[in-house]
Amino acid sequence: MSQLAKISVEKQPRKLSGTVVILAGDGARIGPAARNAGLEPVVSRAAAVMDFKGKAMSTLDLPTGVDGIDRLIVVGIGKPGELKELDWLRLGGVAAGAVGRGKRAGVLLERPDGKKISPESAADFALGARLRSYAFDKYKTAKDDSANGGGKEPPALVLWHPEAGQVRRAVTNRDAIAEGVALARDLVNEPPNVLGPVEFVERIQELAAIGVEIEVLTEDEMKAAGMSALLGVAQGSSRPARIAVMRWNGGRSKDQPVAFVGKGVVFDTGGISIKPAAGMEDMKGDMAGAAAVTGLMRTLAGRKAKVNAVGVVGLVENMPDGNAQRPGDIVKAMTGKTIEIINTDAEGRLVLADAVAYTEDRFKPQFIIDLATLTGAIVVALGHQLAGMFSSDDKLAAGLTAAGEATGERVWRMPLAPEYDKLIDSRFADVKNSGGRNAGSITGAHFIKRFVKSVPWVHLDIAGTAMDSPQTEINRSWSSGWGVRLLDRLVADRYER
């Protein structure tokens, strides 16, 4: 797994030295410990010259002239009374970015108004720093290529806080989240010649070391279960399909599990309905749903979440050889429903049809949330800022909306209605896999919904948020690992005992 920033926590030393990071509020006001260290005149002069006003997420980087401190980084927090939970995550990312790779710094965690920064906020700061420090550079041979994400080791930060012991415990919890996000990012960033279905399973099997129970279904086992929808997608590839089941049993034995299902198309050419060449290289990320589920299971196990959770990922490659599925084919899903193939590039929903049916039938979960880079239509509708959410259950949808606001991995509820569902009625089979161009993300969701019997269900279309993702204070990677923090927060807030 890619290396992240090293974080340690200590009480403030008597004398500050080396590279020091401090926080400044509106008007470039700094906290009492920073003032006592003689930093106020330095900050005031530099702020006046460089027009630094302490605006949130702004930075000031300067040599100090103060004995022992050779570099001072001032991070603006704006008005301290207006800070939200998510802001501490962002501030940590800003600080790590300002410190830079290969550097070490001490961070004086104090507010300019003198009020205490809670251990939880300090831990969020640490998480933001670790996420910002992520870089996928394993294939770069020029290790000084820092401008393009390669080069030096991640930064090392020492957080100075008066309640160091409590902060350490909170940081340990956040470390599990950081590692889950980093795993998801790594999986999506890997080139497709390296990460096929079998290799993806090998990465998953590494989670056994932290207590995740893993089971793998081969093509023969899927064929015996009647999963012709999923297997039809894979039949044009020389790489065999797999379903991987991950189980974390942290709750009571009598508790129903919560379930997460991921689309894992390790590379998507579109099949016979082949995609345009331009941008096709990005289709290595068409397994971002499966990556998010895998990263989530890594996080739940890593922090020993008090919940029973199941992660199921369907892993296939969609290729156009002589054995590939054709438009016009009719296949039968695990549920017995027949599917007319209209477009072989509408393949992810076929994978999910069998995967969600298998998950509901076998595990009888409290709910199913599936994640998929399902449609370009959701990017047209929502851009790269929010994921599309489709749900059969208002309570579950409300929980995800709240978790999205808390983590910054925001969702927007999209409609489900009979008028859209009828667009995927087939002349020759029970359902067709494409309703055409109009309302494409909605009809895709309706297709998956037809294979869910009665369990509360949410479909998250993450095509805009999981890959080619926005560059933010906590992410400088092509792959964001989107969904790990969102779903971990949902579980932590509403489903742990």
User: Which of these, 395, 399, 333, 374, lies nearest to 465 by C-alpha position?
Assistant: 374
Residue type, 251: G
> Of the listed 168, 298, 303, 349, which one is catalytic?
349
Assess contact for 184 and 294: CB atoms under 8 A: yes
User: Which of these, 445, 442, 424, lies nearest to 433 by C-alpha position?
Assistant: 424
> Rounded to whole angstroms, how far apart are CA atoms 356 and 336?
14
> Of the listed 53, 239, 275, 306, which one is catalytic?
275
Note the residue count of the chain.
Answer: 497
Dihedral pair phi/psi, residue 158, rounded to 5°: -105, 120
- Whether 79 sits among the annotated catalytic residues: the reply is no
Sequence-ordered list of residues with C-beta below 8 angstroms from that of 378, at least 6 positions apart, any chain? 387, 388, 414, 441, 461, 463, 464
- Whether 11 sits among the annotated catalytic residues: the reply is no
Cα-based distances in Å from 90 to 27, 84, 95, 159, 387: 20, 10, 9, 16, 20
> Rounded to whole angstroms, how far apart are CA atoms 424 and 50?
60
Dihedral pair phi/psi, residue 149, rounded to 5°: 95, 0
Residue with tokens 């930093």: 39
Assess contact for 273 and 343: CB atoms under 8 A: yes
> Rounded to whole angstroms, how far apart are CA atoms 177 and 403?
14
> Rounded to whole angstroms, how far apart are CA atoms 48 and 446?
58
Could you list the active site residues? 275, 349
